[in-house]
Amino acid sequence: MTELDEIGAWLRDRLPELSAENGVPGVAVAISAGGETVEAAAGVLSTATGVEATVDSVFQIGSVTKVLTATLVMQLVGEGQVDLDAQVRTYLPGFREATVRQLLCHTSGFEGDVFTDTGKGDDCLEKYVDLLADVPQVFEPGEMFSYNNAGYCVLGRIVEVVRGKPFDACMRDHLFTPLGMTQAANDPYEAIIHRAAVGHLGRTPSRLWAMARSNAPAGSMLAMTPRDLLAFARMHLADGTFKNMRQPQVVLPDIGWGTAWGLGWALYDLPGGLVFGHDGNTIGQSAVLRVDPGRDLAVAIFTNGGNRKPLMKEIIDRVLESPEEPVPDPAARLNARRCAGTYLSSTNETTVSEDGQGRLWLDYVPLGITAELGDEPYQTELVAWRGDALLPVEPGHGPVAFLGDDGTGRARYLHTGRVDVRSAGRIPA
């Protein structure tokens, strides 16, 4: 029995237990090594219907879509039709200052959580990109990393302008079909012909499946089986054309998202070598893709609700080397004055304050679309970890970093993967 066979046997035995232990309604997993693949599924696609989850079920992949969008762009780069360091306005006249490379590695600096629905027509991306003229510039292009959904919609628009056809047609013609991703679906109209998972909020099926078509290049619609996603991952393992997508473009702060970001990929510099991948979330559905090129191994995990993180972590830890979990440093000291303040974006307001015992607290309030999609307020204590990076005590929340200087010794930015800016005049006592 090979190592992959042993992993497959463990997965088939353990997956139903993991699903039940973590309240995950349905889960599907595929793992490949060399030319071999093992698959398993457990649970149901919807608690309302009781339809069984199988390895042929399609789940939404959320922001994992971004790596597929990046690959479509890199195909054009390879064909000499797009220059990574050209201004976006070379392809989209009138667009703000930013290069194609900066969009790919999330360093363009403009507000990125823009989810405006511009309709279901083939002109939806064109209309969406036009709206970005009024979006605030948070920092200078190239200054730092800040996860940017809108930037990937712009990349999708570049793809359809250069190819001369809608983005979903580009996705099918240049990735799905040549890679044999036979159950990959661009939208709910395609997904419905397959055995499709429904997202759950708790144990309740969501009444909303797809989000806006104008956000498709960033991850609002794509669905497939884990096997389909591994076909895409194996292309990146086999084809050296795309190897430069794994090269670090920007170093990340200590926020638990990896070591650096490449051209689409999150990069994890681990003692055993590089691992790259991406995560994705939609309404009640989640996906994880991890690839270890040194072992020629890839794993895709899809879920449709529940406490997905412990389930995904146990599977990834079983097959791949994983980053160490952050642990508070008792010797480190908090700089409360530097951190305290209110930080704003279009999607949240976060207040950091010091109490009478010198403890630091973070209060998060969702705004706009994040509140509409069910994101909830929370409060957590922050404890010292690494320099300007602090750890929330409340489970389920990753490290936060306080960056820059507002001119008075206080942090200008709160970094949680996205950059929020200190709001002048709103510093708590």
Whole-angstrom distance, CA of residue 327 vs CA of residue 335 = 18
Q: What angle do CA 401, 399, 276 make, to 5 degrees?
A: 100
Q: Are 93 and 161 in contact (CB under 8 A)?
A: no
Q: Where are the alpha helices (DSSP H) in 254-355?
A: 308-319, 336-339
Backbone angles phi, psi at 222, to 5 degrees: -60, 135
Asked if 108 is an active-site residue, the reply is: no
Cα 231 to chain centroid distance, Å, stands at 19
Whole-angstrom distance, CA of residue 178 vs CA of residue 167 = 16
DSSP character for 416? Answer: S
Chain length of the chain: 429
Whole-angstrom distance, CA of residue 162 vs CA of residue 73 = 10
Whole-angstrom distance, CA of residue 149 vs CA of residue 32 = 29
DSSP character for 66? Answer: H
How does strand 57-60 pair with strand 223-224? antiparallel
Kindly give, in sequence order, each residue whose CB lies less than 8 Å from that of residue 192, ignoring residues fewer than 6 positions away. Answer: none
Residue found by looking up tokens 């790259």 in the block: 276
Whole-angstrom distance, CA of residue 85 vs CA of residue 411 = 31
Whole-angstrom distance, CA of residue 62 vs CA of residue 280 = 4
In 3-state terms, what secondary structure has residue 217?
A: helix
Q: What angle do CA 200, 285, 67 make, to 5 degrees?
A: 170
Whole-angstrom distance, CA of residue 246 vs CA of residue 265 = 6
Residue found by looking up tokens 């006592």 in the block: 429
Whole-angstrom distance, CA of residue 402 vs CA of residue 336 = 11
Task: Write out the two tokens for 427.
Answer: 């510093």
The one catalytic residue among 19, 32, 46, 63: 63
Whole-angstrom distance, CA of residue 216 vs CA of residue 222 = 7
Task: Write out the two tokens for 189.
Answer: 């109209």
| Catalytically annotated residues | 63
